[in-house]
Amino acid sequence: MTHNESFAPTQESKEFDGKTVDYAIEAACKYFKAKPDDLEINILTRGSTGIFGLGGRKAKIRAVLKKLTPPVTEKKSEEKNVPIEAEANRVTPEVPESEEDMSEPGKDAPENQDKHISLAREITEELLNKSGLAGQVEIKADKEGPYLDISGEDLSLIIGKEGQNLNALEYIVNRILRHRVESRTGIKLEAQGYREKRGKSISLLAHRMAKKAQKTGRPVTLQPLGARERRLVHLTLKNVKGIRTHSVGEGIMRKVVINPARSRQRNTKDNSA
């Protein structure tokens, strides 16, 4: 298989596209009924997956059968053209749940906090731009410290189902920020008040289910929640008399169990995330 930066299209050449260059090459092989090594391939665009699989662009190639090419033994391609983003976006990153890993916004704020929040804004804008999502990022502040507020016509996509995309975006932004400035200060990403509304709903749910657990004397298991929301449930019920909480399950199926005092003997696990 030969990769050329450019070659003149011929009557025999044809363009193919796919999620990645490899997928486009596979389509070309099927069309020509040939192996990759039997094709001369010009990569037109490598494409991009965007963030969380949103806003991506397909890879595009032009391929033509090689002429007078002797038969060759099939070989595994030594070079895979799968972008790093494709691997990174297979799983939406889950925000760490422990207090140690999940820094509070504004916690241990450095003297150059303004510089850090400005850098976080630049990172967020760059990620949104590369994903093809329309969003404006503003620096705001509340009692916890400065945070980034996102708005725009693609806000629902940026937030995602139950805030999953927003959580993942916040996680990525903070990972990049901490790598660049060697800081563990967490920057919160908000989306026109979404987190505040969602937080209130989760807190109300936690109290309601705690009352149910106390009334029935049986543990109540909540639906699967993200790490941030599980942590909120633990903190909301931390000082509620006669109630203990712990998490069960793995990955996206991880849930919070609310235990009444009467079921304490049945549960030997301490509060954990």
Distance separating alpha carbons of residues 201 and 178, to the nearest angstrom: 31
Quick: pLDDT tens for 205-230: 999 999 999 999 999 999 888 888 89
Strands 145-151, 188-190: pairing is: parallel
First to last CA, the chain: 50
Q: How high is the pLDDT of residue 143? A: 86
The list of the chain residues with pLDDT below 50 reads: 5-6, 8-11, 68-106, 108-109, 264-270
Quick: pLDDT tens for 16-28: 988 788 888 988 8
Provide the percentage of residues in the chain whose pLDDT is more than 90.
38
Sheet holding 255-260, edge to edge: 220-221, 255-260, 243-248
Question: Is 0.85 surpassed by the pTM of this model?
Answer: no
Quick: pLDDT tens for 63-93: 998 874 444 444 433 333 333 243 334 334 4
Q: Any bridge partners for residue 54, and if so which? A: 51
- C-alpha angle with apex 55: 54 to 56, nearest 5 degrees? 95
Strands 2-4, 14-18: pairing is: unpaired
- C-alpha angle with apex 200: 198 to 202, nearest 5 degrees? 70
Strands 255-260, 220-221: pairing is: antiparallel
Rg of the Cα trace of the chain? 25
Q: Which domains does the chain have, with CATH numbers?
A: 2-88 (no CATH), 113-192 (3.30.300.20), 196-266 (3.30.1370.50)
Query: How far, in whole angstroms, is CA 148 from its chain's centroid?
Result: 17
Distance separating alpha carbons of residues 19 and 23, to the nearest angstrom: 6
Strand segments, DSSP code E, in 20-164 are 39-45, 59-65, 136-142, 145-151
DSSP label of 48: B
